[in-house]
């Protein structure tokens, strides 16, 4: 599965360019990305595809020194329940 980064999203496409999975984001400001939504076609569900998209997004955020505001329910769940993404969380002092 080839994940591509294009137009503020990480996508997996079929050979005909149909998007079958994506994680989209936007910029809150110069230091914060907003994880807006995650979609995985039913044919791919249960195969860890959403996690692979999130990991690609997280790597992009880390490499570019962004923090992340998760709005997507999938990303919110992972941020709340896994320490893997603690370094990307916004400070909430």
DSSP line for 47-63 = SSHHHHHHHHHHHHHHH
Query: Which tokens in the block code for residue 7?
Result: 């137009």
pLDDT of residue 91: 81
Backbone angles phi, psi at 20, to 5 degrees: -115, -5
**Which CATH number applies to 4-84?**
3.40.630.30
pLDDT of residue 1: 77
Where are the domains positioned within the chain?
A: 4-84
pTM more than 0.85: yes
Query: Which tokens in the block code for residue 57?
Result: 């997004």
pLDDT of residue 93: 46
Coil, helix or strand at residue 43: helix
List of the chain residues with pLDDT < 70: 92-93
For residue 88, how many other CB atoms are within 10 A of its CB?
Answer: 20
């Amino acid at each position: 599965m080839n994940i591509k980064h294009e137009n503020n999203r990480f996508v997996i496409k079929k050979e005909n360019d149909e998007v079958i999975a994506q994680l989209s984001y936007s910029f809150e400001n110069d230091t914060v990305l907003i994880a807006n939504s995650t979609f995985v076609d039913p044919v791919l569900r249960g195969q860890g595809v959403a996690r692979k998209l999130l990991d690609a997004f997280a790597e992009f955020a880390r490499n570019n020194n962004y923090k992340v505001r998760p709005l997507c329910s999938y990303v919110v769940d992972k941020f709340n329940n896994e320490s893997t993404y603690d370094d990307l969380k916004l400070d909430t002092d």
